[in-house]
Amino acid sequence: MINLNEPKEMCGIILAGGSGSRLAPLTSSINKHLLPIYDKPMIYYPLTTLMLSGIRDIAIICRPVDIELYSNLLGNGSKLGIQIQYLKQEEPEGIPQAYQIAENFILGRNITLILGDNLFLGQGLGRTLSESGNLGGATIFAFPVKNPEHYGVVDMDVKMKKINFLSEKPLNSKSNLAIPGLYITDNSAIEISKNLKKSKRGEFEIIDLLQSYLLLNKLNVNLFSRGIGWMDAGTVETLFAASELVRVLQERQGLKFGSPEEVSWQNGWITDSQIITLAEEMANNTYSDYLKNLPIHGKS
């Protein structure tokens, strides 16, 4: 087992605040990140993404009213061999606000920040993320989409080596490379975020923070391989599309996606007996049966 008291170079933040207005009335009484993506709460997927990259010290930023709900679900993370703490977001003011809220949590470390409604699936995801954390400055990812006008976009040169520019929801964009809600930065993101000005939307914009890194020539872009999928589950349509995608992949492959218990076990953070105990604490269902069978089949 890894000693959680050892110095940690990378910490993780899940931004899971906001009112989820695009999903109303589903979110009238519950935080959207607790809604189901097929057979698991949405928050399991970004949590698992961070764990796949080797991150064990994680902060979840959410509304004060939601902290008890998250704590009931995940506790302090010790059962998963990780550490989880909860930070309050009184009012949502944009993605860069997360760096300011988590300033005392970050403590000079590098940060992987993921949006709570972003799902990443596919082989090699953990390796891609862990390797990207060693590039210095800030690292973003690029994913080709049909509707770049709905996302932040990065425009690259022909050789895909140099960044031409970044833009937020551009009309008639020449680039189809969307920037997913996953950002790896050094801790200077805290000070950069403090110097940002709010946009016309009344929020601090992540594009402006990334532009600061670009001006310093410290912004890296990593293109996801074709084996890695990404979805933003922030609307009714994409919420149910994500559920259907997970259902199809799991039934076809006989594997679970977004299972923090399995990732922790695969990483060696919990033992065979511990994962069986976690499974037995649940009601009898297909998810608990899956966890119980993991030690039988062995680690991949």
Q: pLDDT of 151-165, one tens digit each?
A: 999 998 887 888 999
Cα separation, 102 vs 89, in Å, equals 10
CATH says 10-139+181-258 is which class? alpha beta
Domain ranges of the chain: 10-139+181-258
Stretch (H or E) spanning 130: helix 125-132
pTM of the model: 0.93
Q: Give me the mean pLDDT over the 49-69 stretch.
A: 96
Asked if residue 223 lies in contact with residue 154, where contact means CB atoms within 8 angstroms, the answer is no
Dihedral sign of CA atoms 20, 15, 48, 288 in order: negative
Compute the average pLDDT of residues 76-98: 96
Q: What is the pLDDT of residue 18?
A: 82
**In the predicted model, is pLDDT for residue 7 greater than 50?**
no
H/E element, 118: strand 118-122
At 39 the three-state DSSP class reads coil
pLDDT reading at 3 higher than 60: no
User: pLDDT-based confidence at 21, cuts 50/70/90?
Assistant: confident
Closest C-alpha among 120, 136, 110 to residue 55: 110
pLDDT of the residue at 239: 95
Cis amide prior to 46 (ω within 30 degrees): no
State the SS3 of 14-32. Answer: EECCCCCHHHCCCCCCCCH
Enter the tokens of residue 106.
């970050």
CA dist 131 and 155 (Å) reads 22
Categorize the per-residue pLDDT at 136 as very low, low, confident or very high, splitting at 50, 70 and 90. Answer: confident
**How many angstroms from the chain centroid is the CA of residue 60?**
10
Q: Is the torsion defined by CA of 269, 275, 279, 280 positive or negative?
A: negative
The mean predicted confidence, pLDDT, of the chain is 91
